[in-house]
């Protein structure tokens, strides 16, 4: 079996994958340092207990990793860390160890799971992230920035300040944060809105939009119009077979996907108008499944 490891800020998800089946999966708490040591030791113990032969280990990390080397990963407290060197202590040399950025890994997972060799994955969460897969291989780019479409300058109307330093980035309006920001922006114009601003989340906006709340609908239209226009631009740059939409906000389901599709078609060049826009299917298992597929990916 292949092992897929999804490294997060507070927990690490581990999966044992056979073909397209996640046979076992569990989470490990990772407080107090030595993250990779703890995880690898745990994986070896679990494999021994269940009598599993490990064919390879793939790892998704929340940041930049190059040839299994992490220069800096502040959100998990790692610096100048060689994953492969650490893995040598736990696995024999013939076991492939591969790692990549978590957004890319999720894209690879969706591609393999859906049998779509070349796709572009968009994650709508606190920010807007993305990753690209071509012929079942992750495309990294010269600065490991392929797919970072959250920082396309797309909204010159509000031109909100982004955390990256730019203004008008896609994620200032189309992420979960962007959706709540837009709700505040228009709050005073819609006194009758049912949105509960004392507990404002993107989900609160989506839920109210589904019930027909005018403010919520206005906000989601603007968020998805910007996203649809951005994806139409992405399409003439990279021309994927499909877009996958994942991340927390995407849990809104077809309601949101249909809005994105609507605006995508409005702004897409005829040659790329029929690119599929699909909900990501793996949910929070995209990380472990995608990571397990790194093993297969080759160079």
| CB-based contact 146:133 (threshold 8 Å) | no
Q: Which residues, including other chains, have CB under 8 Å from residue 5's CB and lie 6 or more apart?
A: 12, 13, 14, 15, 39, 43, 57, 58, 59, 60, 288, 291
Among 142, 188, 212, 298, binds a second copy (CB under 8 A): 142
Closest CA to 68 of 97, 40, 39: 97
Q: Least separation, in Å, of the C-beta of 119 and a second copy? A: 9
Tokens 């109210």 — which residue? 208
Q: By C-alpha distance, which of 91, 89, 64 is closest to 76?
A: 64
129 vs 246, beta carbon nearer a second copy: 129
- Chain positions 150 to 179 lying near a second copy, rule: CB under 8 A, are 150-154, 156, 164-166, 169
Q: Does 139 bind a second copy (CB under 8 A)?
A: yes
Between residue 247 and residue 276, which ones bind a second copy under the rule CB under 8 A? 267, 269-272, 274-275
Q: Minimum distance between the CB of residue 247 and a second copy, rounded to whole angstroms?
A: 17
* Cβ nearer to a second copy, comparing 94 with 274: 274
Should residue 126 be labelled a site residue for a second copy when binding is judged by CB under 8 A? no
Tell me the closest approach of the beta carbon of residue 62 to a second copy, in angstroms: 15
Using the minimum distance from each CB to a second copy, give the nearer residue, 76 or 162.
162
Smallest gap from residue 245 Cβ to a second copy (A): 16
Q: Which stretch binds a second copy (CB under 8 A): 49-57, 93-101, 239-247, 248-256?
A: 239-247
- Which residue in this structure is represented by tokens 């800020």? 9
Q: How many CA atoms lie within 13 A of 225 on its CB side?
A: 9
Alpha-carbon gap, residue 248 to 260, rounded angstroms: 15
Residue 144 binds a second copy, judged by CB under 8 A:
yes
Helix (H) or strand (E) holding 71: strand 69-73
Q: Least distance to a second copy from the beta carbon of 167, Å? A: 9
Under the binding rule (CB under 8 A), the answer on residue 145 touching a second copy is yes
Nearer to a second copy, 131 or 246 (CB): 131
The answer to whether residue 70 forms part of the interface with a second copy (CB under 8 A) is no
The minimum distance between CB 9 and a second copy, in angstroms, equals 21
C-beta closer to a second copy: residue 13 or 151: 151
Q: For strand 242-246 and strand 276-279, is the pairing parallel, antiparallel, or unpaired?
A: parallel
In whole angstroms, what is the distance from residue 291 CA to residue 68 CA?
A: 13
CA distances from 199 to 58, 69, 92, 180, 242 (A): 38, 41, 51, 10, 35
Between helix 202-210 and helix 176-186 the angle, nearest 10°, is 70
Query: By the criterion CB under 8 A, which residues form the site for a second copy?
Result: 118, 132, 134, 139-154, 156, 164-166, 169, 229-230, 232-241, 267, 269-272, 274-275
């Amino acid at each position: 079996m292949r092992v897929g490891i999804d490294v997060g800020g507070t927990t690490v998800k581990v999966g044992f994958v056979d073909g397209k089946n996640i046979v076992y999966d569990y989470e490990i708490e990772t407080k107090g340092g030595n993250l990779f040591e703890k995880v690898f030791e745990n994986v070896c113990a679990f494999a021994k207990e269940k009598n599993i032969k490990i064919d390879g280990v793939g790892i998704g990390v929340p940041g930049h990793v190059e040839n299994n080397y992490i220069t800096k990963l502040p959100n998990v407290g790692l610096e100048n860390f060689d994953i492969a060197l650490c893995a040598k202590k736990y696995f024999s040399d013939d076991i492939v160890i591969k790692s990549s950025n978590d957004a890319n890994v999720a894209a690879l997972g969706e591609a393999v799971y859906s049998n779509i060799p070349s796709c572009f994955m968009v994650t709508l969460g606190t920010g807007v992230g993305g990753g690209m897969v071509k012929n079942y291989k992750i495309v990294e780019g010269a600065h490991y920035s392929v797919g970072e479409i959250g920082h396309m300058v797309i909204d010159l109307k509000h031109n909100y300040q982004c955390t990256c330093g730019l203004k008008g980035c896609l994620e200032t309006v189309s992420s979960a944060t962007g959706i709540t920001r837009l709700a505040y922006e228009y709050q005073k114009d819609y006194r009758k809105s049912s949105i509960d601003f004392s507990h404002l989340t993107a989900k609160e906006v989506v839920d109210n939009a589904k019930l027909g709340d005018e403010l919520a609908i206005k906000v989601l239209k603007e968020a998805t119009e910007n996203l649809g226009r951005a994806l139409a631009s992405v399409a003439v740059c990279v021309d994927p077979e499909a877009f996958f939409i994942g991340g927390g906000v995407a849990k809104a389901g077809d309601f949101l996907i249909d809005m994105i599709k609507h605006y995508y078609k409005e702004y897409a060049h005829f040659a790329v108008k029929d690119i599929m826009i699909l909900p990501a299917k793996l949910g929070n298992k995209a990380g472990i499944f995608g990571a397990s597929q790194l093993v297969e990916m080759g160079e």
